[in-house]
Structure formats: C-alpha cells, structure tokens
Amino acid sequence: MQPESNTWILTAHCESRLGTVDALTAYLRRTGNYITELNSFDDRLASRFFIRAVFRSSDSQFDEQAFREGFAEQAEPFAMEWSLTPVHHRTKVVIMVSKYDHCLNDLLYRYRTGHLPIEIPAIISNHPDLRGLADWHGIPYYHFPITPETKLKQENQVWDCIQQAGAELVVLARYMQVLSPAMCERLDGWAINIHHSLLPGFKGARPYHQAYEKGVKLVGATAHYVNNALDEGPIITQGVQAVDHAHYPEDLVAKGQDIECITLARAVSYHIEKRVFLHGNRTVVFPS
C-alpha cells in the first residue's frame, strides 16, 4: 500500500515532565491533524521521554513551515528535540559491501519491489565482484580497493562518495573491513551494520564453524549502529533461530545468512520510518 501524500511522522524526546504527551497530541488536535499511530515510552531510570506520532492532515494544502513554527513554540518549554518527516519521503541510502552478496541482494530486492521505500544513489565496495548486480539494478558501483597502507586514502574516497551521494543513511551489508576511529566518528548514529551473531560472541573468522564446534543450539544476527567500539554500537534489531546437532556448518551458514538479511532489512525499515531513538549506548525502538 502506498503511503498517503498528506501523512507525516512527528518524533520527539525530552526530559520526563508532566504534560509531554499533551504537548504533542493537543497541538495536533488544535491544528486539525488526525493521529493514525502513536507510541511513547518513559524511561524512569534515565528520566527521558520518547514519543512518535503518525498523523494525517485534514488540510489538503498542509503548511509544513507554519506547522514547524507552531510546534517549535509548543516544544520549547520542554526542551524537546524533534523531527517532522513526510511518510512518502524516500531516504537516500548508500550501501557498503565486500564479497558476500546475500544482504545486498535482499536489500536490492526490497528496494526494487517497493517494500523498502528508499533511494540507493551508490553502492561502495572494496572488491569488484558485485558490480554486475549493481549494474543490473542501474545503481552506480564504486570500487575502492584497500590495503593496510592505503586505508586512510580509501576511507577518504568512501567518505567523499557518501557525501556526493547525499546519503541520509549508510548500510554496511557485510562490509568486511574494520572502520577507522575517524570514519566511525563520521558515521556515528547514521550507519547500520549487520553482525553474524547475537552479540557478543564468535568474533573473527569462520564464525559459523566456531558455532558448530561449540554445539550451539541457536544462530542469530544483530543489526546495530556503528560507533568506535567494534561491534558494540547501539542495537536496533536481533534475529534468532533454533538449530540442533543435525545442522552442519554449511547449514548454519545458510540459516545464518537468512537471518542476517531479515534482521538488517528490519533495522533499515525501522530507521527510515523514524522508529528508532538513540539513547546513550542503547536504543528505544517502536516496532511496526
């Protein structure tokens, strides 16, 4: 189903105070906007309040600027940090990948069928292997090789490409390179990585073979925001599936890759739908 052109997403967070819900909902009522979805959470330990509302304007000529100015006045006494986004906005997403193609292929399928309302202005890789997949979808593919000696230069090329593409989100769809602290700082809070396990666990090479040797009974995946702590950024989504002694390493790989695809796609969807709030090293996520 295509989103209505006159439907908007309003998100806000602030210190926990009396009247925070009313500050948003009463303003929407006064301005003739009908709430179609509403989620809120009050973190009593941190005294922080989070709210997300989807609303439909009764005015076919919705005045975005006037709405913003009016709500800014409403939000100021609460020191709210807030955003307003049209539901039909298609987020510009740059995808980074190495040689594994399962997550990239899944994202491209969801993009092609319209199930993931995004634009993909660029695919970036440190290998040339997946250029054909990008070409088939008509998406520019940028191959920036990397060695320990050229890491700084390569990351500068990547960063320039991300900026030139106007990216609003970067997705590491099995990009098998450790980002430098400087690059992590640049991408902090707006880059999503997929990890091949329920963090923490089985780091390094051949994770599914490690899992097999340990006789695991669950395989999973974790999608998280990038920060300067390797694979320890704020978690957005996790997926899990039961396995048993009859699953060989190749079976674990196949199941694990399926879970990675689903978990990453869900994290991207939640991010572009403004369902995720960064909350220190944690997240508040209002699932669909």
Catalytic residue positions, numbered: 231
Cα separation of 146 and 153, whole Å? 9
Amino acid at 240: V
Other C-beta atoms lying within 10 Å of the C-beta of residue 190: 14
For residue 101 the two structure tokens come to 């193609």
Structure tokens at 252: 């674990």
CA dist 275 and 287 (Å) reads: 7
Cα separation of 193 and 267, whole Å? 9
How far is 28 from 67, CA to CA, in rounded Å?
9
The dihedrals phi and psi of 270, each to the nearest 5 degrees, come to -60, -40
* Bridge partner list, 238: 222
Nearest to 224 by CA among 180, 274, 276, 178: 276
Taking only Cα atoms into account, the Rg of the chain, rounded to an integer number of angstroms, comes to: 21
Q: Who's near 7: CB < 8 A, 6+ residues apart?
A: 36, 54, 55, 56, 57, 86, 87, 88
Q: How far apart are CA 143 and CA 163, in angstroms?
A: 16
| DSSP designation for 186 | H
